[in-house]
Amino acid sequence: MQWSCVFSSSSSWPLCVVVCACAAVAAVVAVPVAVVSPPSFRSANLSTTALLSADRYGKTVLAGDEMAVAVQEYADCAVFRVQARTRGYVALGFVDPIAAHSVDVLLFWVDDETGVGHLLDMHGKTDTGLTPEKDVSQDYELLASSQNGSHVSAVFRRAWDTCDEHDDVVFGNDTMRMFWTTSDRDPIDRQYTDALKLGSSWKGSQSFHPRGPKFRPNTDYYKKWDVTMDNMHLKDNIDTLYWCKIFRAPKINMKNHIVGFVPLLHADTQSLIHHMILYECDGGPDSMEKYVTLKGAQCYGNAMPEDWNKCVSPVVTWAMGSDGQFLPDHIGVPIDGRDKYYMLEVHYDNPTFRKVMDNSGVRVFYTGHLRANDAGIMAVGMAVSPMHIVPPRQSTYRTVSLCDKDCTNVIFPERGIKITSVLLHAHLASRQLKLRHVRHDQEMATIAQDGRYDYNYQQARELVKEVTVYPGDELITECVYNTEDRPQLTHGGYSTKQEMCLAFVTYYPRTPLASCFSMTPVPFFFETFGVQQFLDYNMEGVEKIFLKLADSTTKKPPVHAPATHVALPAFDDAKTLDELNQAHISYLMKQPSFTIEDDNEPNLFKDLEIMEPVEFQNKTFQQHLDNLPWEDGLLTRNIENRLNNGKHMTFCRLHNDTLALMMNTYAFPNFTAYREPFNDACVALSNKFQNTALTVQSSYLLILLSTALICIH
């Protein structure tokens, strides 16, 4: 049974609230080690003391000095534990990111005179001027509460789906955003209530995953290895930088298992860290030891030693908003201190051009008590390339990538691999991500998905039930974007203003596979937009350029820095075709960025001038893309469908930085789509909950909702 809770490390008194979300069918965990499915809340038979105990909750939503929240999943509901540094009221607001006009508000306080806890279920809508109202159906149940001289605590529960479709949000598998605020008074004084309505606001917010397990063991028994940057100086003229540093593995004489990690961040630079990945290197002391004392180098740039390109197998993957990850008890990522080296990659996103020094990294936990299975991490998704495009002014635009059946057939063992968790990764325009699974032209159940993706909360999703992927199965990574606020085309790239569509998959048993990516074949891509030939570049030469860019798709991120002019190679009939192509490849690879963010900044498509057809002459390919009538829904959907359902070139890449198979082009598989089980079950708990808060006058209800809604908007 997995517990979730939020608590404050600064106080011995919690404000705890327990909420239950109900489902028609209890989740079942199918793993080699027996796992108990979440019980119903009533069957847990917990005392008030147990409910208020922090160790009963497995998933921390918020852990701060002023406010702490945790949530525990049950088969029929979610239970929240809240503690806050106040003797007044506490307000929580739950917002569906897609339907953000509606706020599901909970108001809680303990009466200073009687010591009785009160809880109100409220709501607000922007189209009514954020006027708070008490829900007709009170769907939160107060389970326990307490208050001392400085803190208030409570536990409450709520059904996953309360049947109150007008006033309550549904708690499911997608990311949920929670707002919170506190007051130093109970909502009793009418004059104070009026003041709150006029000027109050939310004090903070936090995204979280309401459902799904989250393994969080006691780390006291594990060994620790801190992998951090060494006073890395971030300059004030670069907004996107990938920095790499080599590390020697801890001094251990035999195989150990990595069992988890937590990020090591600093308050002054935390907001600048987009992601961190620790790669295992395919190289021993002869090639790697000399780099250990270096402070690092720009990743995959000219200054990075060639030996570092052999560091391609991820063992730790962290992205912003995550508090780390721990593996189930039956798997561990192997680590051997004998002649093993690792590379830490940190992506700095510095849009305000701050000049800072950073020592961020990760704390890796490992043990000599080996687990039953060696685990691995592989990356699947879209090869990072300018050909990954998202049109402007789109409410929804979908892209897909393919990990083909030939790759899985060659690499995966006969009994298949078992996936235990997935980290879905994209950038600012992404709204929905999904990792799909196809077997013999039949789509299986979705492995992982988030219909309300939050760029600022990229926590790995630990699966309730492990998914087996057999040789010959195919994996499809799908992303849906919203660019309604973008007047220009968005390209794939490494800057956060560009886009990605990736999934980092933790699985066992470990295989030699490091990544499985795809991209649109170059000729097929340009044919989609009606382009037949470029000036000074034949299509074969253009294809070579893009294949070099995609050769290491999690690599070669250029520095996003002020542009420097590079002379374009002159066309010379005396040169051989291959020499000419290589000259242009060299030229284009020197460009500082491939982002389309500044008209003065060079990018690949601006250097491709169209020669055929005649009607497109005297335009660069970027100008051609910019001039397309993307507001024409039929045109945009046709392009979307052709790129998604047409041809895909795949890359099946091994730990030693070689391809298991030659690059090949596949038609997107034709399969019967999986139909999610229809579950219309909801639980109206109003008639079951005995809630003392129901007797409170409705005028008091306005306090919390006003506060929550005004802050959100």
The beta strands (E) that lie in 85-215 are given as 90-95, 102-110, 117-125, 133-134, 140-147, 152-158, 176-182, 204-208
Per-residue pLDDT tens for 146-167? 999 999 999 999 999 998 888 8
pLDDT score of 216: 81
Instruction: Indicate the residue type of 500.
Output: M
The residue-averaged pLDDT of 343-365 equals 94
CA distance 239 to 352: 7
For residue 543, the surrounding DSSP H or E stretch is: helix 539-550
Q: pLDDT for 282-310, tens place per residue?
A: 989 999 999 999 999 998 777 889 999 88
- Position 662 scores a pLDDT of 87
Checking if the pLDDT of 7 tops 60, the result is: no
- Residue where the block lists tokens 């209530």: 193
Predicted local distance difference test score (pLDDT) of residue 522: 92
**Residue 348: which residues within 8 A CB-CB, separation 6 or more?**
234, 238, 240, 241, 242, 243, 272, 273, 274, 358
Mean pLDDT, range 364-377, rounded to an integer? 97
Q: DSSP label at 223?
A: E
Check whether 554 has a pLDDT greater than 50.
no
Q: For 325, how many CA atoms within 13 A lie in the half-sphere containing its CB?
A: 29
Side-chain-facing half-sphere of 13: CA atoms under 13 Å: 14
Q: Average per-residue pLDDT in the chain? A: 81
Distance between CA 183 and CA 172 in Å, rounded? 30
Lowest-pLDDT range, 279-293, 415-429, 488-502, 693-707? 693-707
- Res. 566: pLDDT tops 60: no
Instruction: Please say if the pLDDT value at position 597 is more than 70.
Output: no
Decide if pLDDT at 693 tops 70.
no
Question: For position 237, what pLDDT does the model report?
Answer: 84
First to last CA, the chain: 37
Q: Which of 242, 279, 341, 481 is catalytic?
A: 242
Phi first, then psi: what are they for 308, rounded to 5°?
-70, -15
Task: Look up residue 487 and give its amino acid.
Answer: P
Prediction pTM value: 0.82
Q: What percent of the chain has pLDDT over 70?
A: 78
Segment 213-234, tens digit of pLDDT: 888 888 899 999 999 999 999 9
SS percent in the chain: helix, strand, coil, step 5: 20, 35, 45
Total Cβ atoms within 10 A of residue 41: 23
Catalytic position from the list 209, 425, 624, 648: 425
Q: Give the per-residue SS3 of 609-624.
A: EEEECHHHCCCEHHHH
β 152-158/176-182 pair status: unpaired
Q: State yes or no: pLDDT of 461 exceeds 60.
A: yes
59-73, 176-190, 590-604: range with highest mean pLDDT = 59-73
- Per-residue pLDDT at 418 exceeds 90: yes
Lowest mean pLDDT, pick from 441-455, 580-594, 648-662: 580-594
**Measured between alpha carbons, how far is 638 from 554 in angstroms, rounded to an integer?**
29
> For the segment 479-508, what is each residue's pLDDT rounded down to a tens digit?
999 999 999 999 998 888 899 999 999 999
Is residue 425 among the annotated active site residues? yes
Whether the predicted pLDDT of 627 surpasses 50? yes
Confidence of residue 15 (pLDDT cuts 50, 70, 90): very low
CA distances from 272 to 222, 356, 592 (A): 30, 10, 20
> Where does the pLDDT of residue 85 fall: very low under 50, low under 70, confident under 90, or very high at 90 and above?
very high
Residues 6+ apart with CB under 8 A from 195: none
Q: pLDDT value at position 132?
A: 63
Do 463 and 445 contact (CB within 8 A), yes or no? no
pLDDT value, residue 607? 86
The structure tokens listed for 420 are 């235990």
| Per-residue pLDDT tens digits for 48-78 | 777 777 666 667 888 888 999 999 888 888 9
Return the closest-CA partner of residue 475 out of 640, 327, 669, 331: 669
The radius of gyration of the chain's CA atoms, rounded to the nearest angstrom, is: 27
Q: Which has the minimum average pLDDT: 27-41, 85-99, 114-128?
A: 27-41
In whole angstroms, give the CA distance from residue 641 to residue 490. 18
Highest averaged pLDDT of the listed ranges 149-158, 194-203, 563-572: 149-158
Average pLDDT in the 262-281 region? 94
Is the predicted pLDDT of residue 130 greater than 80, yes or no?
no
Is residue 291 part of the annotated active site? The answer reads no
Average pLDDT over residues 660-686: 83
The angle at the Cα of 101, spanning 96 to 105, to the nearest 5 degrees, equals 65
Quick one: which of 255, 343, 261, 263 has its CA closest to 297? 343
Neighbouring residues of 637: CB distance < 8 A, sequence distance ≥ 6: none
What is the Cα–Cα distance from 186 to 112, expressed in whole angstroms?
8
Task: Count the neighbouring beta carbons within 10 Å of the beta carbon of residue 402.
Answer: 28
Per-residue pLDDT band for 469 (boundaries 50, 70, 90) equals very high
pLDDT at 652 over 70: yes
Percentage of residues in the chain having pLDDT higher than 90: 54
